Chain A
Amino acid sequence: MLPEIQYLSPTTVDEALNMLYENKNARILAGGTDLLIELKKLPINENVTLIDISKINELKYIEDEGDFISIGPLITHQELSRNEFIKKWFPFLSTACSSIGSPQIRSRGTIGGNICNGSPAADTPPVLVALDATVTLKNKDGERELLVSDFIIAPYKTERKPSELLTKIRLRKLIPGYGFSFIKLGRRNALAISRMNIAVAMLVKEGVIEDVRIACGSVFPTTMRVPAAENFLAGKKPSIELFKDVGEIVSNEMVRISGYRWSTPYKKPVISAMVKNSLVEAVGRRVI
């Protein structure tokens, strides 16, 4: 059962920003697939102000901006997984989006919501973090752009100020030749929360790794890249042995950063294997 709700429904970004300014404790409702579950856990006599941004058409877009693709926060997982631009430039984002929840969740859930919810097990952040994607936050006073990796600061905690609205997600196109992969490990084959997930983008030139980004979810307190692993790979020739070594590096980083937990005996060998496999897949799966 939901608590008491004061419902606001802006149709423009400006209107929404005014409402956010005036309602400091308001929650932002988009697809509702995370927020409504959370609200149902509140005491029923609590008062919540909801700003439903789902009618703001200017937040629904996927645009080719030359070097960048920008995505409106209200684009659903469904739309992202089927979009031709995304499939062409960031096929692993399509993969990640189509692995989320179920068809019903994908037709309501939005990329903006997936980022702002800040779940450590969310499926789009690894891809976005690997791509150094940015989010644009706007309030009445102006806007700022920051990396997704800087935006999500702790489990279920982001840099968003109460007055701010996420208005854009921007991804830099990678030059042709990059390989991509997204691997998710769930207990089930559908309706699965990621036990761990990983996104890799890698450029191999003349047999040598020129650039590589590895980002893992549910491995560190927040989704983040693993510089120790990336640096180790740079300039080396791809091989299974090399990828196995990198897997070890990532798993050691996990224990170093996240500490030894109940799940570590399982997660440690498995993230190591997932790193190896995602690197292998990235060698084979390149953007044209």
Chain B
Amino acid sequence: MSAWAVGKRTPRIDSIGKVTGKAIYADDIKLPGMLYGKVVRTKYPHAKILNIDISEAKRVKGVEAVLTAKDIPGVNRVGVAITKDQPIIADDKVRYMGDALAIIAAHDLRTAQFAASLIKVEYEVLPVIEDPEEALFEASVKIHDKGNLICHHKVRKGNIDAGFSEADIIVERKFETQMVEHSYIEPESAIAEPLDDGGVRVFGCMQNIYTSRRILAQVLNLPMNKVVCVQTTMGGSFGGKDDAMNILACRVALLALATGKPVKITYTRDESMIDSYKRHPYKMYYRVGLKNDGTITAAEIKIYANGGAYASMSEFVTWRSVVHATGPYRIPNVSTDIYAAYTNLNYTGAMRGFGSPQIALAYETLMDECAEKLGIHPYEIRKKNLLRTGDTTATGQVLDGKVSLNEVVDAVCEASDFINKYTEYKNNRARPGIRKRGIGLACSYRGVSLGAEGVDYGTCFLKLEEDGTLIISIGITDMGQGARTVQAQFAAEILGLTLDRISVLDINTSRAPDSGPTVASRGTLISGNAITNAAQKIRRNLELACEQLIGKTSSGFIFENNMIINPENGRAVSIKDAAAKAIKMRLPIHAEGFYPAPQTSWDEATGQGLAYFTYVYGANVAEVEVDMETGKVNVLKVWASHEVGKAVNPEGVEGQIYGGIAMGLGLGILEEFEFKNGVPQTTNFDEYLIPTSMDIPEIECRIVENPDPIGPFGAKSIGEPTNELAAPAILNAIFNATGKRISETPANLEVVLLGHKLKR
């Protein structure tokens, strides 16, 4: 197919409002008569609530409502995955420092904040659990009545004992990752407005407004058609504006309905960090058997995920981990167990990568350790074991689509001269010198979209107007990743429209149909297929109109540049005129698009099944310089290769790669959300350190395109795979430079110099 929009470097269609400051983010909204809300939070991370006295706060002039759990008309236990265990406002007990005890609405924020200081709470303080393994001890205090286990997933393949008995060496390692904060620069914000019909409209930066609506309806005890969620311009999310925003939406809606007035709550950065969920810290025990030639014979893995106070996405995050835990390698005998447990830390849920960055740190650094032990080059050991087309994964899935691992690994290794540099730097280790260079490789495969987690489909509505402009309404949202631009490109490609003729609507739950959440790097594939489906329907009717306007053709009309051309006679007509003609012919020029994703399957008992309908493949090489006296690591350059099926907007793909690597660098060497007895210590950007412009390496991208039969124009995904490789590549590079194996993140000054963290 000749592509004239898909595959072109395309500036974002929603940039103008953002560069002029006119784009409306949630906190920019001010409604007439609007009140300001404040959340009153617990003083202890784990305690029974004995009594809450709100009387004094209520008496403050300017305070219009002080609500506690008792004022919630519907359910007060919500969740985005399977277990619904999180209160909007805590009732019986508090389980982490973000738990709310009351919410307040007042004429101004100062008054609300003052009233908050007058609320008196009596607690019975309970012991604090920070560690997921400890949480699962029989004697540990129960954070939830059902016990501290959130879930357990497993994978069983082959015969693990036979696999290890075939091995010449067995390598074991424990690996620990830290808690990571999404660090979207826009803090959470939402505004609720009561509606005439008894319903409520919520504006805000909810990532998944359909989930928000479902939860709002349950909490407010309202039918879904009376709850309207409108997504404002999103100042970043990275998976982070799901649960926390759903809960915030409920809090403002409760206040709006109680007062009959619009209410806004915007969290400060400290509130955002204390309230919001994070990336799961993992404790991982890996045991791998290999033959002397590097062939892996068996892998036995046990992982404890720190789920924090509530289940959130733990069930799904750990499921993705269990599927991918052995990495992109052919391993005949596998036994993997992963447990998620409640603790009294911030709850953990979805964050870009979704259970993959943690395991990639373990299996990719372990792969280098095995190579070192066997005296094999890290490149060679990977080439020997990488999955190839037709191979079977740990979950028993035969990869019948094209497996591009060798391509991406070779691309980064060639571009970086990895093979030679690795050996050179390794030989340099013993030589004197303060600054040592190192280079490291990491690769992965990743299931696209939800997989066997849930029902997967996309739907949209396309409306061509009589002047030849197009309106797209779709539930897959743009959080800054460029979804709208890609969506417009698909429609432009099929209908021959220039992008200035296409609008993608802001999302409103009452207008656009639900396409499931914008998560799991599914946006391009799902929305692209739905839009393609709708656009083809409109195109067919335009073709019928064109047959009358510019004659029939057997070789197909060409749709390009707002014109439709008959290639056989050279006659052309504008899309505007074709649209007008179609209307006259009483042919619809609007259409609904629907895309049901292919089926997946999963057997929870054996951990076997078709986990995902397709996969993407990626590899990174990182080159670092380590200051051997201070432990300071400077990442000099990262080479990244990703197989994306088809790069719909190469500018956007590169943007995802750059951003994913920067975030991966943060995971690898900088960021850690720290606690002291359950109390968060790093609640703003002075203590929680994300990379600045002076910390990022040079980045070279190699995009590999192997169009996927399932993807629209062959396109798959890119958002998350970019975020799981930089950290292990950096850690491997540090090892190459120093000879010191690091088994915890972040590899900060202390860890690199001393080999372990220092606790305050």
Q: Which of B114, B629, B634, B759 has the most CB of A within 10 A?
A: B629
User: Hey, which chain A residues are within 8 Å of B632, CB to CB?
Assistant: 185
Complex-state Cα separation, A187 to B627, whole angstroms: 12
- Specify which chain A residues have a CB less than 8 angstroms from the CB of B434 in the assembled complex: 273, 277
A263 within 8 A of B: yes
Contact of A266 with B753 in the complex, beta carbons under 8 Å:
yes
**Nearest Cβ in chain A — how far from B280, in angstroms?**
23
**With A262-B758, A265-B758: A193-B749 Cβ-Cβ less than 8 Å:** no
Please tell me if A191 contacts chain B, counting CB pairs below 8 Å. yes
The answer to whether A263 and B758 touch across the interface, beta carbons within 8 angstroms, is yes
Q: Is the interface of B mostly helix, strand, loop or mixed?
A: loop
Chain B residue numbers with a CB within 8 Å of A256 are none
Q: Let me know if B500 is at the binding interface, CB within 8 A.
A: no
Contact A191 B749 (CB under 8 A): no
Cβ proximity bits B595-636 to A, threshold 8 Å, 1 near / 0 not: 000000000000000000000000000000000011110100
The answer to whether B758 and A44 touch across the interface, beta carbons within 8 angstroms, is: no
Contact of A188 among B113, B692, B750, B759 (CB under 8 A): B692
Given contacts A43-B117, A262-B759, A273-B629, contact A187 B753 (CB under 8 A): no
- B692:A270 contact, CB within 8 angstroms: no
Residue tally, chain B, CB below 8 Å to A: 28
Task: Please give me the residue from chain A that is nearest to B696 by CB atom.
Answer: A189
In chain A, residues 234-288, which have Cβ atoms closer than 8 Å to a Cβ of chain B?
A: 262-263, 265-266, 269-270, 273-274, 277
Give the contacts of A83-135 with B (CB-CB under 8 A). none
CB distance from A38 to the nearest CB of B (A): 12
Cβ of B430 within 8 Å of any chain A Cβ, yes or no, is: no
Which of B109, B685, B749 touches A266 (beta carbons < 8 Å)? B749
A188 touches B694 (CB 8 A): yes
Partner of B754 from A43, A185, A266 at Cβ < 8 Å: A266
Q: Verify if B695 is at the interface (C-beta below 8 Å from A).
A: yes
A157 part of interface (Cβ distance < 8 Å): no
**A189 to B630, Cβ gap below 8 A?**
no
Write out the residue numbers on chain B whose beta carbons fall within 8 Å of the beta carbon of A35: none
Count residues of A near B (Cβ-Cβ below 8 Å). Answer: 21
* Cβ-defined partner of A190 (8 Å) among B113, B692, B759: B692
Q: For the complex, is A175 an interface residue (Cβ under 8 Å from B)?
A: no
Which residue on chain A has the smallest CB distance to residue B110? A44
Asked if A161 CB lies within 8 Å of chain B CBs, one says: no
A270-B758 CB under 8 A given contacts A1-B110, A1-B113, A189-B694? no
A6 on the interface (CB 8 Å rule)?
Answer: no
User: Are A193 and B686 interface neighbours, CB within 8 A?
Assistant: yes
Query: Is A270 a contact partner of B689 (Cβ separation < 8 A)?
Result: no
* Chain A residue with the shortest CB-CB distance to B669: A187
Find out whether the CB atom of B689 lies under 8 angstroms from the CB atom of A187: yes
Contact with A along B684-704 (1 / 0, CB 8 A): 011001011111000000000
**Known contacts A190-B693, A193-B686, A44 near B760 by CB under 8 Å:** no
Assess whether B114 is in contact with A190, with CB atoms less than 8 Å apart.
no
Q: Which of A1-29 contact B (CB under 8 A)?
A: 1
- Inter-chain contacts of A188 with B (CB < 8 A): 670, 689, 691-692, 694-695
Residue in B630, B692, B758 with the greatest tally of chain A CB atoms within 10 Å: B630
Give the distance in Å from the alpha carbon of A174 to the alpha carbon of B109 in the complex. 55
CB-CB < 8 A to A191: which residues of B? 685, 692
Are the C-beta atoms of A44 and B749 separated by less than 8 Å? no
Q: Which residue of B lies closest to A45 (CB)?
A: B114
Chain A residues with CB below 8 A from B754, complex form: 265-266
Among A43, A44, A45, A195, the most chain B Cβ lie within 10 Å of the Cβ of A44
In the complex, residue of chain B having the shortest beta-carbon distance to the beta carbon of A186 = B632
User: Is B748's CB within 8 Å of the partner chain A?
Assistant: yes
CB distance from B687 to the nearest CB of A (A): 9
What distance in Å separates the Cβ of A270 from its nearest Cβ neighbour in chain B? 5
Contacts of B117 in A (CB 8 A): 43
- Asked if A269 contacts B113 (CB within 8 A), the reply is no
CA distance A45 to B109 in the complex (A): 13
Given A44-B114, A263-B758, also A269-B629 (CB < 8 A): yes
CB-CB under 8 A from A273, the residues of chain B are: 434, 629-630
- Contact among A44, A189, A263, A277 with B692 in the assembled complex (CB-CB below 8 Å): A189
Chain A min CB distance to B426 (Å)? 24
Segment 622-660 of B: residues with Cβ below 8 Å from A = 629-632, 634
| Contact call B753/A269, Cβ cutoff below 8 A | yes
Q: Is the CB of A187 within 8 A of B629?
A: no
- Do B113 and A270 have beta carbons less than 8 Å apart? no
Say yes or no: A1 contacts B694, CB within 8 Å: no
Q: Closest residue of chain B to A187, judged by CB?
A: B689
Map CB proximity to B onto A39-56 as digits: 1 under 8 Å, 0 otherwise: 000011100000000000
A270 proximity list for chain B (CB < 8 A): 629-631, 749, 753
**Please, what's the 1-or-0 string for B535-555, where 1 marks a CB less than 8 Å from any CB in chain A?**
000000000000000000000
Chain B neighbourhood of A262, CB < 8 A = 758-760
* Contact between chains at A266 and B694 (CB < 8 Å): no
A193 to B682, CA, bound (A): 14
Closest to A101 in B: B686
Q: How far is the CB of A67 from chain B (nearest CB, A)?
A: 37
What residue in chain A is nearest B692 (Cβ atoms)?
A190
* Shortest distance between the CB of B384 and any CB in chain A (Å): 38
Give Cα A189–Cα B430 distance, bound, in whole angstroms: 28
Q: Provide the bound-state CA to CA distance between A43 and B760, in Å.
A: 27
Task: Report the bound CA distance from A185 to B634 in whole Å.
Answer: 13
* A277 proximity list for chain B (CB < 8 A): 434, 629
Can you give 12 contacting A-B residue pairs, CB < 8 Å? A43-B117, A187-B670, A188-B692, A188-B694, A189-B695, A190-B693, A193-B686, A195-B749, A266-B753, A270-B629, A270-B630, A277-B629
A residues in contact (CB < 8 Å) with B: 1, 43-45, 185, 187-191, 193, 195, 262-263, 265-266, 269-270, 273-274, 277
Q: List the 9 closest pairs (A to B, CB-CB), nearest first.
A: A273-B629, A189-B694, A190-B694, A190-B692, A266-B750, A189-B695, A270-B630, A262-B760, A188-B695
- In the complex, besides A189-B692, A189-B695, A273-B434, 7 extra interface pairs with C-beta distance below 8 angstroms are A187-B689, A187-B749, A188-B670, A188-B694, A189-B694, A265-B754, A265-B758
